[in-house]
Amino acid sequence: MNWVVLGIWVLVVIVGWYWWWRMMSKQMIMKMNKNLKEETGGEIPKGSSGWPFIGETLDFIACGYTSRPVSFMDKRKPMYGKVFKSHLLGRPIIVSTDPDVNKVVLQNNGSIFVPYYPKSITELFGKSSILQMNGNLQRRVHGLIGGFLRSPQLKTRITKEIEMSVDLTMETWKDKQLIYIQEETKNITFPVLVRVLMSVSPGKDLDFLRREFGEFIKGLVCLPIKLPGSRLYKSLKAKEKLLKMVRKIVEEKKMKMDRGHERGSTVTDAADVLLSDSGEANEMQGLPLDFISGNLIEMMIPGEDSVPMVMTLAVKYLSQCPLALQELTEENMELKRQKTPLCEDYTWTDYMSLPFTQNVISETLRMANIINGVWRKALKDVQIKGYLIPKGWCVLASFSSVHMDEDNYENPYQFDPWRWQQGKQGNNNNSNCFTPFGGGQRLCPGLELSKLEIAIFLHHLVTRFRWVVEEDYIVNFPTVKMKRKLPITVTPIYSSS
């Protein structure tokens, strides 16, 4: 009986404490709102702070494990509107599912908003990460990498290199019936990207980078505990090994440049681009080697994670939409028929000019939501569309909510590549409502290269194979992946031409 009484008292204390915390939080926010409204004319969006300390984090994570991770936002939009306050990962936060608000957040990087990421990411990438840097340095590095990836020299050779990587992987399929697309696509993209970044060819060095990077990336979203044996500890150890090898590659490149060659005379990869840059005219200072090495590792992520997953999900969605698969196959077969008799090489333009293929890629990017949003922290009080974001608060600009909002896309959960045809009604296809690669100053510099890789993969897949997909489903947290790596049974239909 005494235990029952004690239990009741504990419950009363907990409930009373929770009620007191909610009341105090509400009063504090109301007072802050009143003061800020008098100063700025704006108002903190409506919402809930959830439970003490944990806020609404548990519900946010739980929704991430469901088939519809945006359900966290969808449950709150009818109550509070498209922009609402919450409390996630230990911080007060404004969640935006409004494309216009998201645009302002993306375009005001550095001056009003700065990147904010979970502690595991900041621990792994470090302070000099391109994800966390701001101002002139961020614009400088972003511009250098973006310029190189868009350069005619790279476009001329990269198409052939991607084709070779696709062909090398698909040649092994002839001896297999069952393959796992999620793994096979990584075999295509990772070697290509590492070659673009550092000119590393297939062999022991590439195998080492692939193995250690796979260990490194597992810790991007984990508990920030660095004890031996923990996930973060293992990932940090993997990064140490990566840094040692990448630093050696960068040092060798710099020695070759310094050995009688003018800076910038032989630029073949991203490492050369960063080493060749001497900064602004009034600086005449190159980027530190450790800085270059660390950021080259960070740039490997698309080759191991995002681009392979878009390829994988394209296969899944096409398998569920026979009409789209048929039209995609016909378009790519026609290109093959045009090229084969003339023995012509395919060009970057050939692949990027296939209209329905590009529609399939756009629709896959919209539904996949590999980058589901960005986290930013306000450096000062800022007002957007009447919403007030207090200094120090975080903002989650949710891309996935915009992509899956029926106000922007008709039947948003239906795979419909035809929605991207010009003049199609019922879809808000402006740039604000389609942000799979982010936006503003941090727009992904490799977006065109990524689309090219996906287009080449799809071309060779549909012109050389037929397949049957086994049952599998998407896991959305902590990152997007297939539960079973999407097993498919492939049947060759054409010999490689």
Q: What is the DSSP string of 140-195?
A: HHHHHHHHHHT-HHHHHHHHHHHHHHHHHHHHGGGG-SEEEHHHHHHHHHHHHHHH
Q: What is the torsional sign of CA 193, 196, 198, 200?
A: positive
465 pairs with which residues across the strands? 492
- What one-letter code names the amino acid at 378? A
| Beta-carbon count within 10 A of 118 CB | 17
Give the Cα separation of 119 and 220 in Å (integer).
9
**Do 300 and 279 form a contact (C-beta atoms < 8 A)?**
no
Q: Is 254 helix (H, G, I), strand (E, B) or coil?
A: helix
Q: What is the DSSP string of 268-334?
A: -SHHHHHHH---STTT--PPPHHHHHHHHHHTTHIIIIIHHHHHHHHHHHHHT-HHHHHHHHHHHHH
Q: Is 128 helix (H, G, I), strand (E, B) or coil?
A: coil
Buried b / exposed e across 362-376, counting CB within 10 Å, b at 16+?
bbbbbbbbbbbbbbb
State the DSSP code for 244: H
Give the Cα separation of 52 and 360 in Å (integer).
45
Give the Cα separation of 295 and 293 in Å (integer).
6
Give the Cα separation of 16 and 22 in Å (integer).
10
Give the Cα separation of 105 and 432 in Å (integer).
11
Q: Is 123 helix (H, G, I), strand (E, B) or coil?
A: helix
Is 444 assigned a ligand-binding role in the annotation? Answer: yes
Closest CA to 489 of 343, 315, 370: 315
Q: In sequence order, which residues have a C-beta less than 8 Å from that of residue 268 and are 6 or more positions away? A: 199
Give the Cα separation of 73 and 135 in Å (integer).
31
Q: What is the DSSP string of 436-475?
A: TT--GGG--TTHHHHHHHHHHHHHHHHHHEEEEEPP--EE
Cα–Cα–Cα angle for 282, 283, 286, nearest 5°? 145
| Binding residue positions for heme | 444
| Binding residue positions | 444
